[in-house]
């Protein structure tokens, strides 16, 4: 009977980090308000992966990413991690002879992106939503769809390009050569024409989710990312209809 037991995990420690920072774990899922707990995500991981060391490495990667998100985006509204956890699991399963190296490289890039775009540095965006729910990725694919349409939202190639974009933005900000990255009264930057105050962001994002206009439904472990819709234009249109532009 022991052979039928699932391996142990300690993903509930990630839930404790969320609790200690008093994060309200809202989900963008139109069918529920609270995101999947890390305890539940760990239960999914161990149904696929039975190696204790690999499970620990996945948890360690998630912990570093989660802490970086909390530190750099403390006002973030939606905290879904389902699809991201599945992607990290796939990295581990696809690189069985160099799991530690590949997870470390992925984690370092994710943490670097949080640091680069978050509120502790020059770019100072308020939310990580555009990244975690695929708006950045869909925009990137649309620029070269033939070459990029098969690239997953958290693929290494995309992460590298986004890091380069972040450094280019910092240069533009430093030279004051582009007013696209203007700061709002609260010192956060907003590169869009519509309001991203918390009440407006919550209302806009939840309506987009109800219309299935989120490129990556990160609340879904089995999500199918979509890039071939005019997400930016549709988001702008919805915001105008809501009167938040």
What pLDDT is attached to residue 147? 96
Average pLDDT, rounded, for the chain: 92
The pLDDT of residue 36 is above 70: yes
pLDDT tens sequence across 76-127 = 999 999 999 999 999 999 988 899 999 999 999 999 999 999 998 889 999 9
What pLDDT is attached to residue 1? 37
User: What is the percentage of the chain residues whose pLDDT exceeds 90?
Assistant: 83
Mean pLDDT over residues 155-168, rounded? 96
pLDDT tens sequence across 178-217 = 555 555 556 798 888 899 999 999 999 999 999 999 999 9
SS3 per residue for the chain: CHHHCCCCCCCHHHHHHHHHCCCCCECCCCCCCECCCHHHHHHHHHHHCCCHHHHHHHHHHHHHHHHHHHHHCCCCCECCCHHHHHHHHHHHHHCCCCHHHHHHHHHHHHHHHHHHHCCCCCCCCCCCHHHHCCHHHHHHHHHCHHHHCCCCCCCHHHHHHHHHHHHHHHHHHHHCCCHHHCECCCCCECCCCCCCCHHHHHHHHHHHHHCCCCCCCCCCCCCCCCCCCCHHHHHHHHHHHHCCC
User: What is the percentage of the chain residues whose pLDDT exceeds 70?
Assistant: 93
Tokens of 69: 């998100």
Mean pLDDT over residues 146-169, rounded? 95
């Amino acid at each position: 009977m022991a052979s039928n037991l699932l391996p142990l995990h300690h993903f509930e420690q990630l839930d404790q980090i969320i609790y200690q920072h008093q994060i309200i774990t809202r989900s963008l899922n139109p069918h529920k308000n609270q995101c999947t707990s890390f305890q539940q995500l760990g239960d999914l991981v161990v149904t696929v992966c039975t190696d204790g060391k690999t499970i620990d490495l996945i948890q360690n990667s998630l912990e570093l990413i989660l802490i970086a998100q909390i530190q750099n985006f403390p006002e973030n509204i939606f905290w879904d991690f389902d699809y991201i956890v599945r992607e990290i699991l796939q990295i581990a399963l696809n690189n069985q002879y160099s799991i530690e190296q590949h997870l470390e490289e992925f984690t370092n890039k994710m943490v670097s992106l949080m640091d680069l775009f978050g509120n502790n540095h020059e770019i100072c965006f308020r939310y990580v939503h555009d990244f975690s729910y695929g708006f950045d990725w869909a925009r990137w694919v649309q620029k070269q769809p033939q070459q990029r349409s098969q690239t997953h939202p958290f693929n290494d190639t995309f992460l590298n390009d986004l890091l380069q974009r972040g450094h280019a933005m910092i240069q533009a900000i430093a030279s004051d050569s582009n007013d696209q990255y203007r700061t709002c009264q609260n010192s956060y930057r907003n590169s869009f024409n519509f309001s991203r105050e918390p009440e407006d962001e919550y209302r806009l994002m939840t309506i987009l989710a109800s219309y299935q206009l989120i490129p990556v439904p990160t609340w879904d472990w089995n999500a199918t990312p979509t890039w071939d819709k005019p997400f930016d234009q549709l988001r702008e249109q919805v915001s105008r209809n809501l009167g938040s532009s």
